[in-house]
Amino acid sequence: MTDDTDSSRSGTKSKKRRSKPYIPHLAEFFFEPTEDWSYDKAKQLYSKIAYSLNDYELDTVQYTECIAGMKTLPKSSIDLIVADPPFGIGFDGKSGVYNRDETLVIPGYREAQGSYAEFTKDWIAQLPRIMKKDASAYIFSGWTNLDAILNGASEAGLTTLNHLIWHYPFGVYTKRKFVTSHYHVVLLVKNAKSYYFNKIENYPEDVWIVKRKYRAGKEKNSTKLPLEVVSKCIDFSSRPGDVVLDPFMGNGTTAVAAKAAFRHFIGFEINNQLKSLLKKEINSVTPGQFFKSYKERLPTIEELAEKYPRAYREYLKQKELK
C-alpha cells in the first residue's frame, strides 16, 4: 500500500479498492524508499565527478554576485538548487529585536538592491538554463515577499510542486499581532513530467517542524538555516554525487549539508567578509560524515509493532499470504 491511502481519502480510487478496510499505519510496515544507497555506494558515486563547471571547481564558493555568477555556469549542470535569498525587508541582521550579540555578527550582509520583485525575477530567471532536466529548486521566503518568489518562478516557466511550511517554535515577540513562526519553502521543478523526487518517508508532510538553533556565543552571518531543513531538501531531491547550487551561500549551510551527504556543491556569496567563516564551516565536516542509508533511518518493524499493534497483526497476515 503506497499512495492508495492518500487517494482513497480524497475519493479518487475505485470502489473495489476502497472496500479494503483502511488500517492506519499499515503502509509504514511495507514502506521502502524509492531509491537508496549504502555508504560505500554513495561514496563511490561522490568520487566520480562526471563533468566540470566551466571555470568553477566543484565544492567551492565564489565571492561574486549570483546573477552574474549563474550566467557563467554551463547549461544543464545543476541537479538541485537551495536558495535562501535576502529578505527584502531592509534587514541588516543586527536589529536589537533579534536579541543577539551584535559583535558576533559578521558585517557585510547584503540586502536585495533596488526593487525586490525585479531582483527576484532576475535571479530566478537564471535557474531553468542551468538546471538539468530532472532538477528541482527549493526557495525559502518569508510571507511578506512570497508573491515576488511565486511570480518570479512562474515567469521563469518553473512549476510549483509543493508549497512547504517550515515552522520554527521561535519568533519575534509581538504585542498586537500574531508572532511569525514559519517560513515558506517553495519546491519548483523544471519539468513537471520528469523531475527527481526520492520518497524516503512513507508520509512526507509539507509542514516541517524544525527548531532554529540559537548558536549563542558563535560568530555568524546574520541568518542561518538549520542543517536539518537543508538536509531534507537534499535528501528528497538529489542523489549521492549530484551537484547542489546555493546562489546565496551565507554561512554555508547548504555546502555543509551537501558535503556531509556525499553531494557536491557550488555556491555564490557577495559578502567576501564571510570567507574565513565559510571555510571553517565547510572544513568542519568530512565528505559523507552524516550519510546514512534511508532504510537505516526508518523505524524498525519491532519499533512499529510496539507503536501500532493492530497494523502489525495485519502486516504479519499479509506477509504470510505473499
In the complex, the residues that contact ligand SAM under the rule CB under 6 A are: 65-66, 84, 86, 109-110, 221, 223-225, 248, 250-251, 253, 268-271
Residue closer to ligand SAM, measured from CB, 223 or 237: 223
Residue closer to ligand SAM, measured from CB, 109 or 315: 109
- CB 91, min distance to ligand SAM, A: 8
Question: Residue 278 is placed in which grid cell?
Answer: 565559510
- CB 31, min distance to ligand SAM, A: 31
Do residues 80 and 233 lie in contact, with contact meaning Cβ atoms separated by under 8 Å? Answer: yes
- CB 81, min distance to ligand SAM, A: 12
Residue closer to ligand SAM, measured from CB, 27 or 112: 112
Q: What number of CA atoms fall less than 13 Å from residue 284's CA on the CB side?
A: 12
Residue closer to ligand SAM, measured from CB, 66 or 304: 66
- CB 85, min distance to ligand SAM, A: 6
- CB 50, min distance to ligand SAM, A: 26
Residue closer to ligand SAM, measured from CB, 86 or 241: 86
- CB 158, min distance to ligand SAM, A: 19
Q: 260-281: buried (b, 16+ CB within 10 Å) or exposed (e) per residue?
A: bbbbbbbbbbbbeebeebbeeb
Question: Residue 94 is placed in which grid cell?
Answer: 543586527
Residue number of the CB atom closest to ligand SAM: 250
Residue closer to ligand SAM, measured from CB, 9 or 94: 94
Q: Which residues contact 149 (CB under 8 A, 6 or more apart)?
A: 120, 124, 139, 141, 184, 186
Question: Residue 88 is placed in which grid cell?
Answer: 527584502
**Cα dihedral sign, 85-87-91-93:** negative
Element holding 37 (H helix, E strand): none
Q: What number of CA atoms fall less than 13 Å from residue 241's CA on the CB side?
A: 14
What is the DSSP secondary-structure string of 41-83? HHHHHHH-----BTTBPSSEEE-S-HHHHHHTSPTT-EEEEEE
CA nearest neighbour of 170 among 223, 206, 221, 91: 223
- CB 9, min distance to ligand SAM, A: 35
Residue closer to ligand SAM, measured from CB, 1 or 165: 165
- CB 253, min distance to ligand SAM, A: 3
d(CA 237, CA 2): 19
**Cα dihedral sign, 230-235-238-242:** positive
Residue closer to ligand SAM, measured from CB, 66 or 234: 66
